[in-house]
């Protein structure tokens, strides 16, 4: 991912439901955004801490060298929902749960003319046109990438989508030529169980396990909360026999951790695995997932 930050300007915003806000961005520097072939292309968005001002030209590396850590930009990773260079627009959908967090409150308060700096893009997945069918599984955080993938699929393609949101008001529609069979799951149905987080992971796994898979080779995209994704990975690789190279799978977030903490957890896991300390890696994973 490129380390040079560029600026985007808010053009407009719109609610997509009670828990998601669409922000359409543009500006002169959008022309520098590469139109990669990935449908999960992501950017690192840079949010300025309250009361901090940065000198121009904006230089991330200089800020990190010269300012204390608490004044560094807060970095949050978001999927590009849509890029339209002809219209001069880049769309990002933000999950919003009130005043908590960094990016969601920013999106709720964003107004035309506001600036947002970004690094990137990165990305690694796009639907394989050679696959016989497609499986897409995720929660709210994965909806933008799943929506972009479904809209990329051509007429005649088949896709099963399993999508977990808070309730029916959070459902989304897509403009796709493919045959898409969507299963929507609601966390609101789980609140009587007590630990919604653990129940949500089970809800997703049970729904995927209950699917009747079409005949043929699948290309799967499975992203969302780390614990849920881990169980789905085991199921698809072990129980369903999906080849590893036909599976794009990753945790986008972890219960009880913001992105800074999640990145630290993943770095610790990688370090433990590289030294062969599997028990330490498991301890890092297990200790970070409770609220």
- Show me where the domains of the chain are located: 6-122, 133-259
Q: Could you tell me which of 204, 273, 139, 165 has the C-alpha nearest to residue 285?
A: 273
What phi-psi label fits residue 128: left (phi over 0), alpha (psi between -120 and 50 degrees) or beta? beta
pLDDT at position 1: 53
Spatial distance between the Cα atoms of 163 and 170, rounded to a whole number of angstroms? 10
**Residue in this structure with the two tokens 């970070």, named with its chain if needed:** 288
Residue 72 burial (10 A CB sphere; 0-12, 13-18, 19+): middle
Question: Which regions of the chain are under pLDDT 70?
Answer: 1-3, 261-273, 275-291
Cβ count near 168 (within 10 Å): 10
pLDDT at position 59: 92
CATH 3.30.230.10 corresponds to the domain 133-259: no
CATH top-level class of 6-122: mainly beta
pLDDT at position 289: 27
Whole-prediction pTM value? Answer: 0.88
């Amino acid at each position: 991912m490129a380390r040079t930050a560029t600026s985007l300007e808010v053009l407009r915003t719109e609610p997509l439901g009670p828990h998601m806000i669409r922000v359409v961005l543009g500006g002169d520097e959008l022309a520098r955004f590469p139109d990669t072939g990935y449908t999960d292309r992501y950017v690192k968005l840079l949010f300025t801490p309250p009361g901090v001002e940065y000198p121009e030209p904006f230089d991330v590396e200089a800020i990190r060298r010269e300012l204390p850590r608490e004044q560094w930009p807060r970095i949050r990773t978001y999927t590009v929902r849509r890029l339209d260079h002809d219209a001069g627009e880049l769309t990002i959908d933000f999950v919003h749960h009130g005043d908590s967090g960094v990016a969601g409150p920013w999106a709720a308060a964003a107004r035309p003319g506001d600036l947002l700096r970004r690094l990137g893009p990165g990305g690694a997945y796009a639907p394989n046109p050679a696959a016989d069918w497609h499986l897409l599984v995720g929660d709210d955080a994965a909806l933008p990438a799943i929506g972009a993938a479904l809209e990329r699929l051509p007429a005649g393609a088949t896709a099963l989508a399993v999508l977990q949101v808070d309730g029916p008001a959070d459902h989304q529609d897509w403009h796709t030529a493919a045959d898409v069979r969507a299963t929507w799951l609601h966390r609101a149905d789980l609140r009587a169980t007590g630990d919604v987080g653990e129940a949500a992971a089970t809800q997703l796994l049970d729904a995927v396990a209950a699917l009747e898979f079409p005949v043929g080779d699948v290309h799967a995209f499975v992203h969302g909360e780390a614990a849920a994704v881990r169980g789905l990975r085991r199921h698809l690789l072990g129980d369903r026999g999906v080849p590893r190279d036909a599976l794009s799978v990753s945790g986008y977030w972890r219960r009880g951790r913001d992105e800074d903490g999640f990145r630290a957890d993943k770095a610790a896991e990688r370090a433990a695995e590289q030294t062969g300390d599997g028990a330490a890696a498991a301890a890092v994973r297990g200790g970070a997932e409770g609220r």
